């Protein structure tokens, strides 16, 4: 049944650019659309960037809506510059100066944001075709597994890396995301992130400034004017970054230059067990997103750079049209010995888990 569904997707969407992607990086590789459905939760993916392209679930009145930003065609995803819905890596976020030294060897990376590197470089994991290793849209845990072999020297990073991302629907409206990476021959930094843009009112409902968020973090990593960490930490208490108690996203956003784009140091640290990271609540629709993770950090980003981006159904996305909740290792960790290490070696694989729980049960009074 799963194979039939994929074949139908290729046939129905070929005319709109959803079947094959032209260009040297994707020559001869097919790109498909894959759906997982369990109860009244439906999620669609593409193997271009292992990307979430839609997530639909009902509001408090039973009305369905797609709560993630995206595009109508795969061609638009291949031209995207905002990492919408994609897995980003080999190293998510920024590395200052696009360089680092590891075990005495200096590595110069491919800069793509001034002198720095962002989300893996000019051609990161969001801009490649992933292999669909498994796809099962039936049973108690529908799932899809994407894999990608990142070559030694890709964007300047050392060593071959085998990356796996698994998306699984669990229980009542839950989405599990498990990211794994294995260094095949050399130590290398790895920091993967899931870069979906969320708007619980619906992707086409406007901005998220009235939606409430709680972030389980007492500190942030301070950054310079180029958003590169200084290596220092700061308490969120008494600042616009304090979401230890739920507040509207836009309640203090005017005190910032353009919006939120900062790494939170999650309470509880790193480890194998999941811990709460954030809760988002849209009072109007009643929709709730609860996120837990085993990662030490969370990049909270209010889509500040989106401007006149034509999305699904022709709707135009503007700044603050959504928020990103990117659980991660700390940015530029490879250049800060006091940050949790992001170095992976053949004997030490990378494991990063996320669990999204969706509901219409108010998590707190707003």
Cis peptide before 90 (omega within 30 of 0): yes
pLDDT greater than 50 at residue 3: no
**Cα 366 to Cα 363: distance, rounded to the nearest angstrom:** 9
pLDDT of residue 175: 98
Could you read off the pLDDT of 251-279 as tens digits, one per residue? 999 999 999 999 999 998 767 899 999 99
Question: What percent of the chain is modeled with pLDDT above 90?
Answer: 89
pLDDT greater than 90 at residue 134: yes
- Rounded to 5 degrees, what are φ and ψ at 325? -125, 85
pLDDT of residue 272: 80
In the chain, the domains with their CATH numbers are 31-359 (2.70.98.10)
Taking Cα atoms as reference points, which of 291, 318, 312, 298 lies closest to residue 208?
318
- Rounded to 5 degrees, what are φ and ψ at 46? -135, 150
Output the six-digit token pair for 113: 């944001």
pLDDT greater than 80 at residue 12: no
pLDDT of residue 55: 98
Q: Which residues are annotated as catalytic?
A: 195, 326
Contact, 45 vs 144, CB < 8 A? yes
Could you read off the pLDDT of 40-68 as tens digits, one per residue? 999 999 999 999 999 999 999 999 999 99
pLDDT greater than 50 at residue 22: no
Containing 7, the helix (H) or strand (E) segment is helix 2-13
pLDDT greater than 70 at residue 338: yes
pLDDT of residue 365: 59
Within 8 A by CB and 6+ apart from 48, the residues are 21, 26, 31, 74, 77, 78, 86, 128, 129, 130
**Cα 277 to Cα 355: distance, rounded to the nearest angstrom:** 10
pLDDT greater than 90 at residue 33: yes
pLDDT of residue 16: 36
Q: Which residue has the tokens 């790494």?
A: 263
Contact, 6 vs 32, CB < 8 A? yes
DSSP letter at 96 equals G
Contact, 266 vs 297, CB < 8 A? yes
Grade residue 28 by pLDDT with cuts at 50, 70 and 90. Answer: low
Could you read off the pLDDT of 66-85 as tens digits, one per residue? 999 999 999 999 999 999 99
What rounded mean pLDDT belongs to the chain? 92
Contact, 150 vs 90, CB < 8 A? yes
């Amino acid at each position: 049944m799963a194979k039939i569904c994929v074949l139908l997707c290729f046939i129905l969407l070929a005319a709109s650019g959803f079947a094959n992607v032209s260009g040297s990086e994707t020559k001869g590789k097919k790109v498909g659309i894959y759906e997982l459905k369990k109860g009244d939760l439906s999620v669609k993916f593409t193997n271009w960037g292992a990307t979430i392209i839609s997530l639909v679930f009902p509001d408090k009145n039973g009305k369905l809506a797609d709560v993630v930003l995206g595009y109508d065609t795969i061609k638009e995803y291949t031209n995207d510059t905002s990492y919408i819905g994609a897995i980003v890596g080999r190293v998510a976020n920024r590395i200052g100066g696009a360089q680092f030294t590891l075990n005495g060897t200096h590595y110069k990376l491919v800069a793509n944001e001034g002198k720095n590197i962002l989300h893996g470089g000019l051609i990161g994991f969001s801009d490649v075709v992933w292999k669909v290793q498994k796809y099962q849209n039936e049973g108690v845990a529908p799932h899809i597994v994407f894999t990608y072999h990142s070559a030694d020297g890709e964007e300047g990073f050392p060593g071959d890396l085998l990356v796996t991302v698994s998306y699984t629907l669990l229980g009542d409206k839950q989405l599990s995301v498990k990211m794994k990476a294995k260094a095949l021959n050399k130590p290398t930094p790895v920091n993967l992130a899931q870069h979906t843009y969320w708007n619980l009112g619906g992707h086409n409902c406007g901005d998220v400034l009235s939606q409430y968020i709680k972030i389980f973090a007492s500190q942030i990593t301070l950054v310079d004017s180029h958003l590169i960490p200084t290596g220092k930490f700061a308490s969120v208490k008494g600042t616009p970054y304090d979401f230890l108690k739920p507040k509207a996203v836009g309640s203090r956003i005017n005190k910032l230059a353009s919006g939120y784009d900062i790494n939170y140091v999650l309470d509880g640290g790193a480890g194998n067990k999941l811990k709460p990271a954030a809760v988002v609540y849209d009072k109007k629709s009643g929709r709730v997103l609860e996120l837990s993770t085993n990662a030490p950090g969370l990049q909270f980003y209010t889509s500040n750079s989106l401007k006149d981006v034509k999305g699904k159904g022709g709707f135009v996305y503007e700044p603050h049209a959504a928020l990103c909740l990117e659980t991660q290792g700390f940015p530029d960790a490879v250049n800060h010995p006091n940050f949790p290490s992001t170095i992976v070696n053949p004997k030490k694989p990378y494991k990063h888990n996320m669990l999204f729980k969706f509901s219409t049960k108010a998590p707190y009074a707003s």
